[in-house]
Amino acid sequence: MDNFVINIGRQLGSGGRAIGHILAKEFGIAYYDKEILALAAKESGFCEEIFAKNDEHKGFFRSVLGNLIPFFGGGPSFYDNQLSEESLFRMQSEAIRKAAADHSCIFIGRCADYVLRDYPRCVNVFVAADPEDRLKRICEQMNVERKAAERIMEQGDSKRAEFYNFYSQGTWGAAATYHLCINSSVLGLEGTAAFIKEFVIKKLEK
């Protein structure tokens, strides 16, 4: 097939990343999750840590600005002119566009569906899951108790929604924003990946 892109938005603990890995292997294409931060850092010349601190949430920057200025030199004008959250998002978006133009790939989160809204061969998917399945996965992956997992789940979804709703013209998790919304609890991770694969193939045939 000609180059294409799959963009996956996901609730925290829904298994979206694992599903993305399965799809990347099935299609034999590149997978970008936090890897896009390394690309953005390479393209911009800034260190990857700066992008990681701003990853998929807003509001971190002013709280850590005092720690960053000695590293970069300069003062508040440097933040205002070069290193705002919006400028970091633009740099990350440019890295996403360059990767998509070069080869077929899967992007996890980071508003990639909006960044690539004019890309002709995109499939935008949102992965949700039942709360109990999400909590179980968070407990296992982060080695935390249920109460902590509940807090992590709520805060994670809130940050992702705020980030997406600020930078895009869609609504995070809303069906109208995506080509496909799917609950991974119904079919499991492998079954969900298989369903998405079939959907992708059919959509790209149009």
Measured CA to CA, the distance from residue 25 to residue 21 in angstroms comes to: 6
> How many domains are there within the chain?
1
The residue whose two tokens read 């979206």 is: 16
Per-residue pLDDT of the chain (206 residues; tens, 9 = 90+): 689 999 999 999 999 999 999 999 999 999 999 888 878 777 777 777 777 776 656 654 444 444 444 444 444 444 444 467 788 888 889 999 999 999 999 999 999 999 999 999 999 999 999 999 999 999 999 999 999 999 999 999 999 999 999 999 999 999 999 999 999 999 999 999 999 999 999 999 97
Q: How many helices (H) and strands (E) does the chain have?
A: 10, 5
Residue 73 within any structural domain of the chain: yes
Residue 206 within any structural domain of the chain: no
Q: Please report, for the domain that includes residue 77, its CATH number.
A: 3.40.50.300
Is 194 in contact with 139 (CB distance < 8 Å)? no
Give the residue among 23, 54, 29 at the shortest CA–CA distance from 125.
23
The residue whose two tokens read 């694969």 is: 197
Note the pTM of the prediction, 2 decimals: 0.85
Residue 187 within any structural domain of the chain: yes
DSSP 143: T
Domain that holds residue 93: 5-201
